[in-house]
Structure formats: structure tokens, C-alpha cells
Amino acid sequence: MWLNVLIIVFILLVLIVVIALIRALRFGQTPPAAESLEGIAVDSDQVAQHLSKIIQVESISMDNEPARQAKFEEVHTLLEKFYPRVHATLKRETINECSLLYTWEGTDPSLKPVAFLAHQDVVPADPATLNQWTYPPFSGEIADGFVWGRGALDMKNHLVGIFEAAENLLEAGFQPRRTIYLASGHDEEIGGQHGAVAAAALLAERGIELEAVLDEGGMILEGFLPGIPGKVALIGNEEKGHINVELSVQQSPGHSSTPPAHSAIGILAAAITRLENNPMPAQPRALLPMMSHMGRKLPFSYRLLFANLWLFGGILKSVLEKNSKTNASIRTTMAATMISGGIKPNVLPTVAQANVNCRILPGYNIDQTVAHIHRVIADERVTIKVNDGFCDEPSPVSPIEGGHFTEIAQTVRGLFGDVSTTPFLMLGGTDSRHYTGICPNVYRFAPVQLTADDLGRVHGIDERIAVSSLGDMVRFFAQIMQTWAK
């Protein structure tokens, strides 16, 4: 009898192995062939000069500060100077003093318009790091084949690339059938409430529904994930939600020589530690669309794991959790980003506070995230409050089969060659999330080739972009404008 049982078990194991191998061999899509595209002729050095000048304007996003408004007006003046055809042909509207909306009228009003987004604002450079920059962050230095400075990657390069493309197309006599909007916010880095929110609301008031939107997002990366060869173009088709949660503890003041068992800071620290040690559930399945589109270029080990989540889900989860990028792609993350408390070394703090920034995975929502925080902290001494001024649910998921996603992917392969193209979950926030109410096809992609190490320059030290990449950006935007506006 035992022999029969062993034989049955052996046969079952063989069947499981065979099924797993067959599923792995069949896993992934083969992308349709993309025609090689030459693209328009671009003077990359001139584009670099334009970007350099715009980087030199310290258009740091701040809430309604008059002095800062003048900086954005400087950006507007430079755009007028560098792109005369755009300003002679397109209708320009100013929204809340600093954001811009350009309308390039199409010849067929029955077609829904498309929109290209780029924000003018940048984050500041940390004063403590200024001596570590090769060139000052707002110098716009052109050296060693790069344009250096804050906004070179996020995202004055994108702004310049879109305007250069439009200027070139106008010079060539291009007339779109479909109306094109160029929308440029001034406060994306602090939530977009006065820029993108207002621009999208204005279009909605006019009864305008957009056919497609393209904003900043994923890039063309080499070394994106360990073991995956070649370059991968990450085309964002969804975006995490986000909230900021304030944790606060209030205790009686006193002298530090006679402390209680747990001070306000100690109670707060314990609450943060519990959150870090008890994250929200991981969902490896969230990466399936991205891995499937990379298809046959994936190493067989990846294909085996993702094709058989029913069998290897636990193993895959443990692997993905070890990498901060992949861990953030499969779960709602929570990071303590600011903390305060205390007024003097020998005085017990009355209040200790911390901010926890949460990035919410699609499939979850704000209420579930807040409930998790309450459940894990489980301490009545800790007050938990959501900061309503900066919160969004996860975005809707834009289609990835055919249509505008495929047009972006084929344009990438046509211009950049042997590049894998795949959908991508945006981990950070973009202005495009404010347009999902008037557009079902929202994509987030910046046509820039980077190594994974270069990503650390975004919001970091020595932000820069290769001059040659600027020409690539202009060619991409000109091509996709022509494709979408036919």
C-alpha cells in the first residue's frame, strides 16, 4: 500500500513540475514589431542652451508666495523667447497666476483632444549638500556632455522637450487634426492643487473629455531589476495613492531627572517601530502585467516564479521584499519622514509628533490604510490624524492592450531600438492623477535613458541630463504628437 502511495505522490510531483515548466515557457507576450523611426532633426546643443537658462530660474514650488510668483513669470518669459511659433499659433491661458494651458486647435472638432503635461516647479536643494554638488544646483552648467542642475531630470527637461517638439512641428507646417493641449503646472511638487487640479477642473467645466494624457513617469532604465538584461522602458499606466498621517503623543511636562517609564518621544518611537515591523500585505500579483509584457526577455527563473504564483507565491514574496523598489511595487508603504518633540535637553517634552507618508497600492484605499495604522499602533496615547491637504486614492488603471499604450511602446522601440516596453506602477505622484476624471487613457513616461544609479540624482545631488538625451526627448514628443493628433 505504501508503495502505491509513494507512486501516486511521485506522479503528482512530476505533474506539478511539468505544469510549472510549461506555464513558464508560455509566460509573457511577444511585442508586435515596431517600424524603425528616424524622427525629426534636432539641434541638441540649442535645446541644452534653452534648458540651461530655464534651470537657472529658481522656480521652487511654494504656496502662493509673491516672490516665488515672479520666478514662474521668468520661466514664462523664457518660453515666449525660445518658442515664438508656439506663442504665435497656440492660445495661451494663465491659471492661478503661474500655471499655463496652451491650446493647439485641431482641424476636426469631433475628435477628443490629447494633452501633454509638464510642471515648471522644482524641489529645493538641501543646503547641507551644496558643497557636494559638482556645479551649483541652479547654475544650469553645460559640461562634460551634460546639463547640470535642479530640474534637469524632474522635470524642466520634459517641459523643454514638449515645447521644442511643438516648435519644430510648427516650423515644418504640421497641423493636427485633433486638438492638442500643453498644460504646465507650477505646484506639482506640493500636490498640484493650484495648478493641475485647477487646469483639469477648467477643462471639465468646458465639457472637454480628453482622449489621452501623457505626463512624466517611468524612464528607459538599464539595470532596473537584478538579472534582467538590456534596457526597459517603464510606461506608467497607474499610480499609487498617498496620504500623510500625523502621529502625536501628549504627556505632562517635567524634569528629565525624574522621567516616567515612557516619555512622549518613547511612546511615539514605539508606535513608529510597530508600523515598520508590521507592513500592509504584499501582493506579488501586482507585478504580473509588467513582467508579462517583458515576456521572453525575462530570465527563465523570473518566468518560472511569476507564471506559477499558485506554487511559488511565498518564495517570490520573500525575494521581492528584499529590494526596496520591488517591495514598494507590491504593497502599500509607510515611511516616517518627519519628527519633532522637545524644547530643551533637560525638559520632558509635552508633545512629540511624527509624519508618516503612505503610498497606497491600487486595490487598497485610504480608509483601509488608516484602519491598518490604528490596528497596528493600538495605543490610546497616540493620536492618529490624516492630513487632508495632501491625499489621493490610487489612480484608475489605464488600458495596456492596444490603443495609446501600444502607440507609446512602438514609438519607443522605433526611436530607441532594442528596448523592452512594459506597463509600470508609478510609486510617486504626478500631475496626471488630477486628469483621470476627464480622461480614461492616462500614461506616465519620460523618454530619457538612465542607469538605475542615475535615478538617485532625481531630487538628489548632481541632478543632470545628457545633452544627447534632450534630442531623443524632442524626437519622441514630436513623433507621439503626430501619432496622437492624426
The 3-state secondary structure of 316-340, one letter per residue: HHHHHHCCHHHHHHHCCEEEEEEEE
What value does the CA radius of gyration of the chain take, rounded to a whole number of Å? 25
Whole-number Å distance between alpha carbons of 475 and 84: 19
Where does residue 422 fall: left (phi above 0), alpha (psi -120 to 50 degrees), or beta otherwise? Answer: beta
As given in the structure block, the three cell numbers for residue 274 are 510597530
Q: What is the pLDDT of residue 5?
A: 80
Whole-number Å distance between alpha carbons of 406 and 359: 28
DSSP-H helix ranges across 258-378: 264-277, 288-294, 300-307, 309-321, 324-330, 366-377
Catalytic residue selected from 141, 164, 187, 188 = 188
Catalytic residue selected from 121, 154, 167, 239 = 121
Amino acid at 135: Y
Q: What is the pLDDT of residue 294?
A: 87
As given in the structure block, the three cell numbers for residue 188 are 506639482
Asked about 164 being catalytic, the answer comes back as no
Cβ-count burial 103-122 (b if 16+ within 10 Å, e if not): ebebeeeeebbbbbbbbbbb
pTM of the model: 0.93
Element (DSSP H or E) covering residue 203: helix 196-205
Whole-number Å distance between alpha carbons of 393 and 294: 28
Whole-number Å distance between alpha carbons of 473 and 105: 23
483 φ/ψ angles, rounded to the nearest 5 degrees? -65, -45
Write out the chain's pLDDT in tens, 486 residues.
Answer: 677 888 888 888 989 989 989 999 999 887 777 889 989 999 999 999 999 999 999 999 866 566 688 999 999 999 999 999 999 999 999 999 999 999 999 999 999 999 999 999 999 999 999 999 999 999 999 999 999 999 999 999 999 999 999 999 999 999 999 999 999 999 999 999 999 999 999 999 999 999 999 999 999 998 777 778 789 999 999 999 999 999 999 999 999 999 999 999 999 999 999 999 999 999 999 999 999 998 778 889 889 999 999 999 999 999 999 988 899 999 999 999 999 999 999 999 999 999 999 999 999 999 999 999 999 999 999 999 999 877 899 999 999 988 999 999 999 999 999 899 999 999 999 999 999 999 999 999 999 999 877 888 999 999 999 999 999 999 999 999 999 998
Long-range (24+ apart) CB contacts under 8 A made by 137-143 are: 137/463, 138/55, 138/56, 138/57, 138/58, 139/55, 139/56, 140/51, 140/52, 140/53, 140/54, 140/55, 140/56, 141/52, 142/48, 142/49, 142/52, 142/467
3-state SS class at 440: coil
Q: What is the pLDDT of residue 227?
A: 76
Q: What is the pLDDT of residue 22?
A: 92
Closest Cα to residue 57, out of 146, 151, 125? 151
Q: Which domains are assigned to the chain?
A: 44-239+395-484 (3.40.630.10), 241-392 (3.30.70.360)
**Residue found under cell 524641489:** 123
As given in the structure block, the three cell numbers for residue 477 are 514628443
Asked about 188 being catalytic, the answer comes back as yes
Burial class of residue 88 (count of CB atoms within 10 Å of its CB; 0-12, 13-18, 19+): exposed
